[in-house]
Structure 1
Amino acid sequence: MAIVDVKTDITGNVWKIVAQPGDKLAEDEEILILESMKMEIPVASPEDGELIEILVAEGDIVTEGTVVARIKA
C-alpha cells in the first residue's frame, strides 16, 4: 500500500468538501469541489483507495499543485 497525495490542477477556492476521511473512493471519484472564475471544478481521487486525510477546509484558497488530500491506495 502507498500513500498518494491528491493535488489541485488550478488555483481556486475550496467550495465544498464531498468526501470524508475513512471513505472508500474509486478512481475519479470526487473528493472536493473548487470554485474558480465562477466555475465548479472537481478534484478527484487519482486511483482507488481510502481517504485518510483532508488538508484544506471549505473557504480556503489553494494554488495549482497544492496537496489537498491523501489517500491510502
Structure 2
Amino acid sequence: MQEVKAAMAGTIFQIEVKVGDSVTKGQTVIILESMKMEIPLEAETDGTITAIHGNEGDFVNEDDVLVTIQS
C-alpha cells in the first residue's frame, strides 16, 4: 500500500483519479495549489486507488495523506 502525501501545505486544486481507478508509476493523481503554483503529486507505484482523503478546494498540511494506492 502506498500513500500519496502532500508535499507542502496548500489547497487541493484538482483530483485526477477516483476510487477504483488503476494508476501507473509516475501518473499524476492530485494537483495541489500553493503560493499560486500548481504542484502535481504522482503515484510512486502501479496499483488501484482505494481511498481519496479530501475534496477539491480543501486545505491540507504538509505530509497529510491524500490518496491511498493498493499495489
> Normalising by the residue count of structure 1, what TM-score does the alignment of the two structures yield?
0.91
Residue 39 in structure 1 maps to residue 43 in structure 2: no
Q: Shift of residue 15 of structure 1?
A: 0.6
Q: Percent identity?
A: 37
Q: Distance in 2 between matches of 1:4 and 1:38?
A: 28
Q: Shift of residue 62 of structure 1?
A: 0.7
Amino acid at match of 1:60: D
Q: Distance in 2 between matches of 1:33 and 1:7?
A: 11
Structure 1: 5+ residue stretches without partners: none
RMSD: 0.8
Task: Map 1:1-73; keep pairs closer than 5 Å.
Answer: 3-73=1-71
Which of structure 1's runs of 4+ aligned residues deviate more than 4 A? none
Q: Distance in 1 between matches of 2:42 and 2:19?
A: 14
Q: Shift of residue 46 of structure 1?
A: 1.2
> Normalising by the residue count of structure 2, what TM-score does the alignment of the two structures yield?
0.94
Q: Size of the alignment, in residue pairs?
A: 71
Structure 2: 5+ residue stretches without partners: none
SS at match of 2:4: strand
